[in-house]
Structure 1
Amino acid sequence: MGSKWRKAKVALGLNLCVYVPGTIDDALPESDAAGRFSDYTTVFPVTGNSDSNPSMPTTPIPSSSGLRLSKASSRSSSKKTCAICLGSMKPGHGHALFTAECSHAFHFHCIASNVKHGNQVCPVCRAKWKEIPFQGPSSDPIHRSARINSLDWPHVDTWMTLLRRLPPLHMDSHRQITSLFHNSEPNVFNDDEPLEPQPELLKSSLENNHSKTVEMKTYPEFSVVPRSASHENFTALIHLKAPLTSSMQNSSLPISHQTSRAPVDIVTVLDVSGSMAGTKLALLKRAMGFVIQNLGPFDRLSVVAFSSTARRLFHLRRMSDSGRQQALQAVNSLISSGGTNIAEGLRKGAKVMEERRKKNPVCSIILLSDGHDTYTVTGPGGANPRPDYRSLLPSSFHGGIGCQIPVHAFGFGTDHDATSMHSISETSGGTFSFIEADSVIQDAFAQCIGGLLSVVVQELSVGIECVHPGVHMSSIKAGSYKGRMSSDKRVGSIEVGDLYADEERDFLVSVNVPAGDAGEKTALLKVGCVYRDPLLKEKVNLEGQEVIIQRPEHVNNECVVSIDVDRQRNRLQSADAMAEARGLAERGDLGGAVAILESRRRILSESVAARAGDQLCIALDAELKEMQERMANRHVYEASGRAYVLSGLSSHSWQRATARGDSTESASVLHAYQTPSMVDMLNRSQTMPLLGPSPPHPIRPPKPR
């Protein structure tokens, strides 16, 4: 391969790099190609060798003691397997192959996706490459006529397009990037860019657009109960569904640029320690580029990077054209080195949020790390065997309806501290996602911001009141949401907080049903809710609905349980089994953990909802089975089982979609809580040009009702 490559260069007299379109449709007109190259050279420039441009920031090669290779890297020594996607590299499978100067081979589309972000080192041996492939379209008829097939590639009409290497950034841009790291930080982060007023809209137009309110329904466990019968733990379901505004439903604009949504403040706290070197950092830069490009001009972003210490790369600023340019340059300048100080990164991210002068209606911190905190974090009581991240979060982060700043944590790879990352997200009211495969980091971020860019309900609180004088509540099952009951158990509430467009919440309330009532029906509960519209900035009150059951003297047929109630009971009981199994696994009893999951699967299969073919029950069974497999032994559990279980618990407890490992068999459960805006952003991520191959899992619509 090396000699033929050199001959091709000499024959054409160019300093070349290569593009292999997967299909003829991948080729674009020259005007489109030029525009896309212009965008992406800013985000991820491909530089020459370091000797010719020593001032450009590059990702250093850490020492062997500081580098932790992923499973993909450890298995890349075999030329039969691509070190990036772990797929087969046998000739005849329809994929072009690339062999580097160091003799390591990869699928062409995999390595091209990697190096186009400026990464010039081999993912396997860390050798510095002088010649790199670059994936990019061209319509040059002369270049499109060149075909190179030095590795006996199959004849699938895969054309090789030869392009000039892209130039580095201008010196002015480099100076701007450098200044981001060497200028001193202010003591107080009150330098956030002022909010830009959104275009003036008639209030009547906004009210018309937001005329839809939260949908609320209630379901009793049994609709008919004999008058003489009594129940001690009768279950009622409260179902809530956020509105999908007309602009989100009909507008051809991407959700990030719609003016009829609440603008957001986002702080990303990114791990750039030595273990992030190479492919991981390149993919993180790519994912951040996607986030930046999909934020609207009224949204604000700040980036904090941490390794042994933490630094705010730029102040919280609007993602206008100039704001995006600065953000992209700052992200592109990231280098990896040092240890992992999650605590300092989190502290600085919280400081940016707490000290801002102005606040957008929606705000969140996105935290990503691939390792364990190598610095001691202690709580108020002194030394602590595990980091106490709760003490680092301001009171406004500590969950509940007053929590306006959730931390959505992403555990990257198999070496991260899933327990601590889950604790951070749980404390703040955010979600924990497990990014098992490096290639899906962008999709994980896309799903998260797809939700954040569609918040239509804030500070939602549900009120519950017993109607019949003989009824009282015994429990409120709300997952991680705070449920409260009065001392006489006659009044209760659930603090829900924010809802994304079309997002659903389900809560179960257990009550007693008294006997001996002379009426034909009994009103058990009255349920209402109040919330704030983030755009209109007004409180909305929904009138209470009553949970009513019929009370005939005799019931001829056997009472059938509500499938809606049974479905949610299965979800909560499955989540309880997951938590119990995790507790046993942490204590070393993997056999007992697997047995609990197996028992839950058996009970689940016998439920009314499962026998009716309910899709959520099918997904829960697949998830429980996946957890059993990830608890097969201690090594598997430590590598992925713990993180998979914790991301599942986070998803079910908040009833919100999270990234869930890399499994195809349990893929259906990943979509149980997805909203239309999440699906839209995921589709944008997976179809965005020049960002490499799509992940293996198809996008599914939100769960059926």
Structure 2
Amino acid sequence: MESRWRKLWINMCVHVPKTVNHSSSSNGSATSFSGHVLTSGDGSGYRATTPTSSSSSSSSGLRLSKSKSSKQGTCAICLNSLKAGKGHAIFTAECSHSFHFHCITSNVKHGHQVCPVCRANWKEVPFPRPASNVPQKVGAGRINASLDNFSEPAIFDDDDEVLDQQPSIAHNMNEVDCNIINSMEIKTYPEVSAISKSASYDNFAVLVHLKAPSHSQKQLNNGRNNTESSEPVHKSRAPIDLVTVLDVSGSMAGTKIALLKRAMGFVIQNLSSSDRLSVVAFSSTARRIFPLRQMTETGRQQALQAVNSLDPDSGTNIAEGLKKGVKVFAERKWKNPVGSIMLLSDGQDTYTFSRPRVEADYRSLVPSSIHRSNCEGMHIPVHAFGFGADHDATAMHSISEITGGTFSFIETEDMIQDAFAQCLGGLMSVVVQELQIEVRCFNPCLQLSSVKAGSYQTRLINNARMACIKVGDLYAEEERDFFITMNVPADDSSDEMSLLIVRGLYRDPTTKEMVGLDVTSEVKIQRPDIARGVAVSIEVDKQRNRNLATEAMTEARVKAERGDFVAAVSTLESCQRALSETVSARAGDSLCVSLSAELKEMQERMENRRIYEQSGRAYLLSGISSHSSQRATTRGDSTDTTRSYQTASQVDMITRSQTMLMRTTQPGNSLPPSKSFNDRLGRKK
């Protein structure tokens, strides 16, 4: 039976670790992992992954033979209906006869170890166990499971213990011992290096550039390329608490749910024993199908079992799914340093809103405890993944923006694993937390006019002579650029002028120490009598281009939502032309080149309402999410536009994903390719 289960997961391109000793379950209960799990649908008996005949072939390699019930679809023990979706788990024995699970376990408990129908001797029998969140694979049979079959406690305080707990921390830069060595890189670039003494300069720009430190060792996987390792990732990084909130509504049936299970298998196999994972699934309701468990060998085995038990059914209640995911974080007894939610949905929330809706309504989807504007909140970012053409891109983007996460557009079904891999690679490489940047005018005659920090919270204080930017977490080697503008007056009192001082504060997630960072020398410019031949900084120019492009995308989106697609396209065209005339464009800057290509792609996805609603809106919002947060997202069939923000850890994890797919996908078992946007339009990439 073990070999049959292994083959099932191999066809899904998911590695299955060796079978766990039944007595070593993390919750102390005996669990048998032989046999198959086949999930049931709603009360009509709908099954998304079960063919109607043995001759039916599966494009995904996931088809199982249809279970054979007792005569007339009744349980041979209680003589009641075996119809799925009534709150009863169904056990199908190795002889293919089916029974209510509670009936057959009671029968076995009294010493009967033969089939009540055909009297066949069973090699493996179903033994009852205490209720848990994981539908059990028992004997050589299988249990059909919908969300109603998953039990969950009233309070989610049953999480696995972690070794390190978070100490209290300082939140004021003056409380920090700045003797702690700062390994974070911080640079400043004035727009020009010199201004004539007699000249004034309105909206003079200074770029503040940050780069997070790398991992303590060079490779995230410690030099290993084998995804089958029981410890897939390096131990020196900060361990994570990850909650995946997964849409299992009826529209996820077929290839979608198969690919989601495969992608979740990749996530599970690449978490280490110090990481913890919980899985929440939602359709018309939501259930925590797997508690917050350490991803030891046993934990991974049980997580795979829970995910494989999912079956698409009913409607889409995103708000309930998020609420349940946040409940896992709110009620956990222990805490890993890094916490995040990965949310995936392919549809519209059909339970929360009344129509017509306005965008402000989307705030009601997100529990207030994880709003990033909530100073007393838990600071749990939601990384949202819109799956396919029918998802609510506005809702998913709003959720990510409200919580400080990212929004990715998974246009083609086979992109889901790489999208998850990219996000996971970032979460598993957090090296900076709670980063705050303070920018202060050095010269009393100066005043800040604006701070452009994208989606990050900013505020001007002290009569606009100081600005604070809340950055939050940074992945290893991740970069951030913030655009500060001020009016520089004429000044003939000196040949040099000091403009700004930049300070910062962050927490190291591995040592728990608060670290202060300072620019020891102020940002200065020269004030000669006459400034000649002064060149504009390329660094400042290319980040100005990024801000201009993001603003153009936002403006085009507003026009497209009004139905004025001609004006939306015109806005993007104008920005593209403006970018082509800049200093960085003429110098061949890669960011400028990719921005131009992305703006062109967006124009093509705004040709008319049909194309915009099918893919344009999601592509546009994912681009805005990426550029405003300066973090990689997946969007459509485009990859070049995300590389400017990808970190080495994210690239490494994507490579793992693609290598695994190439190695394990066999001819005849591969899932059918999905057509990209370019393919559907008949265009070359």
TM-score, length-scaled by structure 2: 0.75
Whole-angstrom distance in 2 between the partners of 1:547 and 1:352: 46
Alignment of 1:576-595 (within 5 A): 576-595=551-570
Which of 204, 208, 220 is 1:238 aligned to? 208
**Alpha-carbon displacement from aligned partner over 1:259-306 (angstroms, at most 9, x marks no partner):** 111000010000000000000000000000000000000100000000
Q: Who is 2:464 aligned against?
A: 489
Matched, 1:388 2:361: yes
Whole-angstrom distance in 2 between the partners of 1:482 and 1:495: 5
Q: 1:37 to 1:339 in 2, by over 3 A?
A: closer
Whole-angstrom distance in 1 between the partners of 2:391 and 2:425: 25
Whole-angstrom distance in 2 between the partners of 1:589 and 1:119: 52
Matched, 1:174 2:137: yes
1:328 partner SS? helix
1:408 partner SS? strand
Q: Who is 1:634 aligned against?
A: 609
Q: 1:195 to 1:230 in 2, by over 3 A?
A: same
2:458 partner SS? strand
Q: Who is 1:399 aligned against?
A: 372
1:39 partner SS? coil
Q: Who is 1:684 aligned against?
A: 656
Which of 543, 547, 551 is 1:572 aligned to? 547
Which of 513, 523, 541 is 2:498 aligned to? 523
Q: 1:474 to 1:387 in 2, by over 3 A?
A: closer
**Alpha-carbon displacement from aligned partner over 1:518-552 (angstroms, at most 9, x marks no partner):** 21110111111110000110110112342110111
Whole-angstrom distance in 2 between the partners of 1:117 and 1:456: 43
2:217 partner SS? helix
Which of 531, 555, 561 is 2:531 aligned to? 555
Q: Write the letter of the residue equivalent to 1:277.
A: A
Whole-angstrom distance in 1 between the partners of 2:46 and 2:16: 37
Q: Who is 2:428 aligned against?
A: 453
Q: 1:291 to 1:654 in 2, by over 3 A?
A: same
Q: Write the letter of the residue equivalent to 1:677.
A: S
Which of 33, 38, 48 is 1:57 aligned to? 38
Whole-angstrom distance in 2 between the partners of 1:256 and 1:432: 26
1:681 partner SS? helix
Matched, 1:187 2:168: no
Which of 178, 189, 197 is 1:219 aligned to? 189
- Structure 2, unpaired ranges of 5+: 21-33, 49-53, 68-122, 128-135, 166-179, 226-230, 676-685
2:290 partner SS? strand
Whole-angstrom distance in 2 between the partners of 1:324 and 1:228: 69
2:314 partner SS? coil
Q: 1:291 to 1:237 in 2, by over 3 A?
A: same
Matched, 1:252 2:215: no
Whole-angstrom distance in 1 between the partners of 2:321 and 2:266: 22
1:388 partner SS? helix
Contact map agreement 2:194 2:526 (CA 8 A) in 1:
yes
Q: Write the letter of the residue equivalent to 2:411.
A: E
Following superposition, the deviation at residue 607 of structure 1 comes to: 0.5
Whole-angstrom distance in 2 between the partners of 1:322 and 1:422: 35
Whole-angstrom distance in 1 between the partners of 2:124 and 2:650: 34
1:257 partner SS? coil
Following superposition, the deviation at residue 556 of structure 1 comes to: 3.2
Which of 611, 614, 637 is 2:589 aligned to? 614
Q: 1:633 to 1:608 in 2, by over 3 A?
A: same
Q: Who is 2:243 aligned against?
A: 267
1:485 partner SS? strand
Whole-angstrom distance in 1 between the partners of 2:593 and 2:206: 23
Whole-angstrom distance in 1 between the partners of 2:65 and 2:608: 36
Contact map agreement 1:243 1:502 (CA 8 A) in 2:
yes
Contact map agreement 1:362 1:452 (CA 8 A) in 2:
yes
Contact map agreement 1:181 1:313 (CA 8 A) in 2:
no
Following superposition, the deviation at residue 245 of structure 1 comes to: 2.3
Q: Write the letter of the residue equivalent to 1:241.
A: K
1:411 partner SS? strand
Alignment of 1:103-502 (within 5 A): 114-116=60-62, 173-175=136-138, 182=149, 184-196=151-163, 213-249=183-219, 251-253=222-224, 256-377=232-353, 388-399=361-372, 404-502=379-477
Following superposition, the deviation at residue 339 of structure 1 comes to: 0.5
Q: 1:194 to 1:40 in 2, by over 3 A?
A: closer
Q: 1:268 to 1:639 in 2, by over 3 A?
A: same
**Alpha-carbon displacement from aligned partner over 1:466-500 (angstroms, at most 9, x marks no partner):** 00111110000000101111151111110000000
Higher RCO (CA 8 Å, separation ≥ 6 residues): 2
Misfit runs of 4+, over 3 Å: 40-43, 53-56, 58-67, 116-121, 168-173, 175-184, 253-256, 382-389, 391-396, 400-403, 691-697
Which of 28, 39, 61 is 2:16 aligned to? 39
Q: Who is 1:71 aligned against?
A: none
**Alpha-carbon displacement from aligned partner over 1:553-604 (angstroms, at most 9, x marks no partner):** 11232x2210100000000010000000000000000000000000000000
**Alpha-carbon displacement from aligned partner over 1:327-364 (angstroms, at most 9, x marks no partner):** 00000000011011111111101111111111110000
Matched, 1:624 2:599: yes
**Percent same amino acid among aligned pairs?**
56
1:371 partner SS? coil
Equivalent residues, number? 553
Comparing 211-220 and 463-472, the one that deviates more: 211-220
Q: Who is 1:144 aligned against?
A: none
Following superposition, the deviation at residue 649 of structure 1 comes to: 0.5
Whole-angstrom distance in 2 between the partners of 1:475 and 1:645: 25
Whole-angstrom distance in 1 between the partners of 2:261 and 2:124: 16
Q: Write the letter of the residue equivalent to 1:684.
A: R
Q: Who is 2:479 aligned against?
A: 504
Q: Who is 2:630 aligned against?
A: 655
Following superposition, the deviation at residue 455 of structure 1 comes to: 0.2
Q: 1:37 to 1:487 in 2, by over 3 A?
A: closer
2:450 partner SS? strand
Following superposition, the deviation at residue 190 of structure 1 comes to: 1.3
Whole-angstrom distance in 2 between the partners of 1:500 and 1:453: 8
1:459 partner SS? strand
Following superposition, the deviation at residue 253 of structure 1 comes to: 4.3
Contact map agreement 2:556 2:572 (CA 8 A) in 1:
yes
Whole-angstrom distance in 2 between the partners of 1:403 and 1:582: 31
Following superposition, the deviation at residue 508 of structure 1 comes to: 0.3
Whole-angstrom distance in 1 between the partners of 2:253 and 2:43: 7
Contact map agreement 2:397 2:622 (CA 8 A) in 1:
yes
Q: 1:217 to 1:638 in 2, by over 3 A?
A: same
Q: Who is 2:573 aligned against?
A: 598
Alignment of 1:61-100 (within 5 A): none
Following superposition, the deviation at residue 389 of structure 1 comes to: 4.3
1:258 partner SS? coil
Whole-angstrom distance in 2 between the partners of 1:448 and 1:631: 28
TM-score, length-scaled by structure 1: 0.73
Whole-angstrom distance in 2 between the partners of 1:629 and 1:62: 44
Whole-angstrom distance in 2 between the partners of 1:440 and 1:120: 29
Q: 1:41 to 1:638 in 2, by over 3 A?
A: farther
Whole-angstrom distance in 2 between the partners of 1:267 and 1:226: 56
1:572 partner SS? helix
Following superposition, the deviation at residue 403 of structure 1 comes to: 5.6
